[in-house]
Structures are given as C-alpha cells and as structure tokens.
Amino acid sequence: MALKKSRAVITNEEFRLAMSSWATGISVITCMSSENPRQPIAIVCNSIVSISLAEKSILWSVDKSSSSYQQWIHAPTFLVNILAEDQGDLLGRFAKKGPGKFEGLEYLCTEQGNPILEGVSVSMECATTQIVDTPDHSLIISRLETLVNNNKAPLIYLHSSSWSSTQLKTVADTGNS
C-alpha cells in the first residue's frame, strides 16, 4: 500500500498528478471584452462544477494570472463551449496565453454578444451571480440562461491529456487484455 502523506510534505507535482486522475470534459469559455466590445476573449477551462439542478447553477475557477482575469470577473454573461471529441485542435488554439486566440477563426455571437464556437458538444450561456475570492483563483458562480445540446461525444481530459471516447476505449481494452 502507498504511503499516506500529510499536507506539509505533498509537493505541487504530487497534487497535480493525483488530480489528473479526475476525468473532466474540456470547455472553452468565451465573452467579449468589457473594455472593447469588438475584442473576443476565451479561456480553456476544465474546472466547471454543476452546483444545483434546482437553481441550474454552475461555477468555474479562474486563475488570477489569466491575462483576462479582470474581464472574466466583470463579465455579466459568458458562453461555455464544451468541446466535442474531434475538437482537439481548438484546445491547442485557446490554451495559449494572451491575445490572438481567435486569429483566422470565423464565429457568430449570441444575442448577449458572446462568441459561439461551431461544432461543439454543448453550449451554455450563463449569467454571473457571485464571485468568491481565494488567494490565487476566483470562483465564478453563475446561473444557466440558455442551453444548446448538439449531442456530440465530448473531448475528455484525463492524466493531463485529451482523449476521444474511442481512444479511451482502446486504452481501457488494452489495459484489460
């Protein structure tokens, strides 16, 4: 049995590795800059948590080091674009830091003005209701306003890599043989 470790001796890498066993989807959250309504903003995000079915509320966590941190905490609404399994290229495009993430990409906007990514699995427009501060992240709590479910299989994030459902099945089958 592995040795149980207490907080004082757990390294960042050990914590990161442990959390990488927690599979999530991958979303790209979009909005328009509050300073320049023609400037689209996006961030790759896998920290989404469903809070309440009754309230239809979710939260996500934004790193205070994000180049768009101020924009995210002041955005009245944003669009959560949950990537489909064939959209790994968008992960690379939007995970890079700084401006230029939309370069060469055509997109439409919702009525609220949030950029829509084509071909996603699900998109959810949300209105921010509360910001909870932590030392290096803010939790953005929001209410679901609209939902589009394209019923496409989602891209999965597990062990620090993105996977399609077919790839995951192959890994699982190989592991079982």
Ligand X SMILES: Cc1cc2nc3c(=O)[nH]c(=O)nc-3n(C[C@H](O)[C@H](O)[C@H](O)COP(=O)(O)O)c2cc1C
* Residues pairing with 157 in the sheet: 24, 162
The least distance separating ligand X from the CB of residue 98, rounded to whole angstroms, comes to 5
Say whether residue 78 binds ligand X (CB under 6 A): no
Q: Which residue is nearest to ligand X (CB)?
A: 47
Q: How far apart are CA 146 and CA 81, in angstroms?
A: 12
Say whether residue 95 binds ligand X (CB under 6 A): yes
Q: Can you tell me which of 30, 68, 81, 142 binds ligand X, judged by CB under 6 A?
A: 68
* Residues pairing with 63 in the sheet: 137
* Alpha-carbon separation of residue 134 from 22, 49, 63, 96, 106 (angstroms): 22, 16, 10, 24, 36
The HSE-up count of residue 95 (CA atoms within 13 Å, CB side) is 13
Q: In what order do the strands lie in the sheet with 77-82?
A: 40-45, 27-32, 77-82, 122-133, 137-149, 57-63, 49-52
Say whether residue 96 binds ligand X (CB under 6 A): yes
Say whether residue 58 binds ligand X (CB under 6 A): no
Scanning residues 7 to 26, which ones bind ligand X (CB under 6 A)? 26
Q: Can you tell me which of 37, 98, 100, 104 binds ligand X, judged by CB under 6 A?
A: 98
C-alpha 94 chain-centroid distance:
10
Give how many residues touch ligand X by CB under 6 A: 18
The span of 12-20, 45-53, 110-118, 143-151 binding ligand X (CB under 6 A) equals 45-53
**Which one-letter amino acid corresponds to residue 29?**
I
Say whether residue 90 binds ligand X (CB under 6 A): no
The span of 73-81, 95-103, 115-123, 124-132 binding ligand X (CB under 6 A) equals 95-103
Say whether residue 43 binds ligand X (CB under 6 A): yes
- Report the candidate in 159, 85, 79 with the shortest Cα–Cα distance to residue 119: 85
Say whether residue 159 binds ligand X (CB under 6 A): no
Give the binding site for ligand X (CB under 6 A).
26, 43-47, 60-63, 66-68, 95-98, 157
